[in-house]
Amino acid sequence: MGRHRTNRRARGFDSGAVIRTEKGPPLSPRRLMARFCLFFLLLVLIFAVLTATPSAQVILHAPLSRLLVLISASILGAFGAVSASGNYLSLNGFGVSIVEACNGVLPTYLYVAAVLALPSRWRDKGWGILIGVPAIFLINLIRVVTLMLCGAYWPTVFEQVHIYVWQALVIGLSMAVWVFWAERFARRGHQVGS
């Protein structure tokens, strides 16, 4: 028995180690990619359905929109006369309503779906959600504030900045957060666990 322990330690195991086993044969990179894509699309579909319900409007969209308005109003107060009520925000007479499409839920659930779909440890997925959700909220807050400033001071370019600049930036920055997480946590965890 002592010899068996020595052999286990010589191979990098100790008596308290948890041995990770694979279920079935290892998957090829192509199969891993297909599995990721299918799982990602399934999660996106589930999240899209769930966030489109009347309950999601009451529990998620309306409170998140109000929170964005309140925080944005406190920041925008340094730049002019601000008015905030419910999901309506006004700066120097330029006003907008923060609706479902503008509250950051869509990029957030796309990000969360990508984190959950990537093969990695649950602890790493937890870190991905803890890092990414606040980061995307912050990105969206910066988006709302800069769009309000643009609308109040340069209204002729508001639509272009709203549609072409910030939509692409939110997608790109959300992807950058995901890549950061995948490289920093998921890949490292996969290498350690392999």
Q: Render pLDDT for 79-110 as a digit per residue (tens, 0 to 9).
A: 999 999 999 999 999 999 999 889 999 999 99
Q: What residues contact residue 174 under an 8 Å CB cut-off, 6+ apart?
A: 107, 110, 111, 132, 136, 139
**134 within a domain of the structure (yes/no):** yes
d(CA 102, CA 98): 6
What global pTM score does this model have?
0.80
Bridge partner list, 84: 89
The Cα 6–Cα 1 span in angstroms is 9
Burial status of residue 133 (CB atoms within 10 A of its CB: 0-12, 13-18, 19 or more)? middle
Structural domain boundaries enclosing 69: 26-193
- Give domain status of residue 9, yes or no: no
Q: Number of structural domains, the chain?
A: 1
Asked whether residue 144 is domain-assigned, the answer is yes
Dist. CA 139–CA 164, nearest whole Å:
16
Q: Is residue 166 part of a domain?
A: yes
pLDDT, greater one: 156 or 5? 156
Residue 121 in any domain: the answer is yes
Number of neighbours of residue 112 by Cβ within 10 angstroms:
20
Q: For residue 90, give the H/E element and its range.
A: strand 88-91
pLDDT digits (tens, 9 = 90+) for 4-47: 444 444 443 344 433 333 455 666 788 888 999 999 999 999 99
In this structure, is residue 10 part of a structural domain? no
63 falls within a domain = yes
